[in-house]
Structure 1
Amino acid sequence: MLQKTLKKWLNQFKQYFFTYSDGFYHLPYSSKSPQALVDSFANYPFIKHNKVKQSIFANTPFCEGGFNYQELEEGLWVIYSKMKYKTNVAFDLVYDNPEEMKMEDKGYYMLSLNNVTNKAVIETDICEKQLCFSNYSWTFFKPKERNCDLNFKGANNKYITLYFNEEWLQKNLVQNSLFSEAGLNKFISSDEPYIAWPLNENEEVVKNFNIFDEVMNMNNEASHIDFLQFKLCTLNLIFDFLKICIDQQVIEKHFAIDYKDKFSINKVENYLTSNLYDKFPGIDWLAEKFKISESKLKSEFKQFFGKPIYKYFQEKQMLLAKELIIENKLLIKEISYKLGYENTSKFTAAFKKYHGILPSELQKQEFEIAV
Structure 2
Amino acid sequence: MEQIATQLDSSLEDENYLEINEKFGKGSVWRIELEEGLILQREDLCMNDDLYLIRDLEDKNVESFSFIYQLSSFHLDGQVEENEKVGETRNTTFIFNNRFKFNVRIPAHTQMNHLHIYMTKEWIEKFIASYNIPKSSDLLRLLNDPDVTIYDEIGPELLRVVHQMLSYEPIEKLKKAYLKIKVEESFVVAIDMNWKREENFGELSYVHQADFQVVTSIKKDLLDNLISPPSLEEFADRYSMSKSKIQNLFKQVYGSPVFQYLKKIRLEKAMEMLQNQNISISEIGYLVGYTSLGHFSKAFKEFHGILPKDVRKQNIES
TM-score normalised by structure 2 residue count: 0.72
Please give the secondary structure, in 1, of the residue aligned with 2:129. Answer: coil
Please give the secondary structure, in 2, of the residue aligned with 1:180. Answer: coil
CA distance in 1, matches of 2:24, 2:208: 26
Aligned with residue 75 of structure 1, among 31, 37, 48? 37
**8 A Cα contact 1:58 1:64, kept in partner:** yes
**Residue 337 (structure 1) aligned with residue 299 (structure 2):** no
**Residue 110 (structure 1) aligned with residue 66 (structure 2):** yes
Q: Aligned residue for 1:98?
A: 59
**8 A Cα contact 1:196 1:304, kept in partner:** no
Q: Aligned residue for 1:273?
A: 223
Give the superposition deviation at 1:77. Answer: 0.9
Q: Aligned residue for 1:319?
A: 268
Q: Aligned residue for 2:182?
A: 233
Query: Is the alpha carbon distance of 1:191 and 1:297 closer, same or farther for their aligned partners in structure 2, counting shifts above 3 Å?
Result: same
User: Identity of counterpart residues, as a percentage?
Assistant: 18
Consecutive unaligned residues of structure 2, counting only runs of 5 or more, are 76-87
Give the superposition deviation at 1:297. Answer: 5.1
CA distance in 1, matches of 2:301, 2:89: 22
Aligned length: 301
**Residue 162 (structure 1) aligned with residue 112 (structure 2):** no
Give the superposition deviation at 1:110. Answer: 1.9
CA distance in 2, matches of 1:145, 1:113: 19
Give the superposition deviation at 1:69. Answer: 1.1
Letter paired with 2:204: K
Letter paired with 2:305: G
Query: Is the alpha carbon distance of 1:116 and 1:87 closer, same or farther for their aligned partners in structure 2, counting shifts above 3 Å?
Result: farther
Letter paired with 1:163: Y
**8 A Cα contact 1:215 1:230, kept in partner:** no
CA distance in 2, matches of 1:294, 1:90: 31
Give the superposition deviation at 1:163. Answer: 1.6
CA distance in 2, matches of 1:216, 1:358: 48
Letter paired with 2:129: V
Q: Aligned residue for 1:183?
A: 137
Matches for 1:125-274 after TM superposition, within 5 Å = 135-142=90-97, 144-148=98-102, 150-154=104-108, 155-177=110-132, 179-180=133-134, 183-184=137-138, 186-188=140-142, 190-199=144-153, 203-207=156-160, 210-215=163-168, 226-249=175-198, 253-259=204-210, 262-263=212-213, 265-274=215-224
CA deviation map 1:246-299 (0-9, x unaligned) = 12229962453345x6555434434543554x24343455567xx533536545
TM-score normalised by structure 1 residue count: 0.64
**Residue 292 (structure 1) aligned with residue 239 (structure 2):** yes
Q: Aligned residue for 2:82?
A: none
Please give the secondary structure, in 2, of the residue aligned with 1:112. Answer: strand
**Residue 348 (structure 1) aligned with residue 297 (structure 2):** yes
Alignment RMSD: 4.1
**8 A Cα contact 1:150 1:263, kept in partner:** no
Query: Is the alpha carbon distance of 1:297 and 1:174 closer, same or farther for their aligned partners in structure 2, counting shifts above 3 Å?
Result: same
Letter paired with 2:130: Q
**Residue 54 (structure 1) aligned with residue 16 (structure 2):** yes
Letter paired with 1:235: E
Query: Is the alpha carbon distance of 1:107 and 1:64 closer, same or farther for their aligned partners in structure 2, counting shifts above 3 Å?
Result: farther
CA distance in 1, matches of 2:252, 2:54: 22
Give the superposition deviation at 1:158. Answer: 2.9
Give the superposition deviation at 1:112. Answer: 1.7
Give the superposition deviation at 1:320. Answer: 1.9
CA distance in 2, matches of 1:153, 1:266: 17
**8 A Cα contact 1:82 1:157, kept in partner:** yes
Give the superposition deviation at 1:180. Answer: 1.0
Please give the secondary structure, in 1, of the residue aligned with 2:291. Answer: coil
Give the superposition deviation at 1:341. Answer: 0.0
Give the superposition deviation at 1:209. Answer: 5.7
Q: Aligned residue for 1:17?
A: none
**8 A Cα contact 1:46 1:60, kept in partner:** no
CA distance in 2, matches of 1:270, 1:224: 48
Consecutive unaligned residues of structure 1, counting only runs of 5 or more, are 1-37, 120-132
Give the superposition deviation at 1:306. Answer: 3.7
Give the superposition deviation at 1:134. Answer: 6.2
Give the superposition deviation at 1:78. Answer: 0.7
CA distance in 1, matches of 2:92, 2:231: 26
Query: Is the alpha carbon distance of 1:90 and 1:367 closer, same or farther for their aligned partners in structure 2, counting shifts above 3 Å?
Result: same
Q: Aligned residue for 1:308?
A: 257
Give the superposition deviation at 1:343. Answer: 1.0
**8 A Cα contact 2:137 2:191, kept in partner:** no
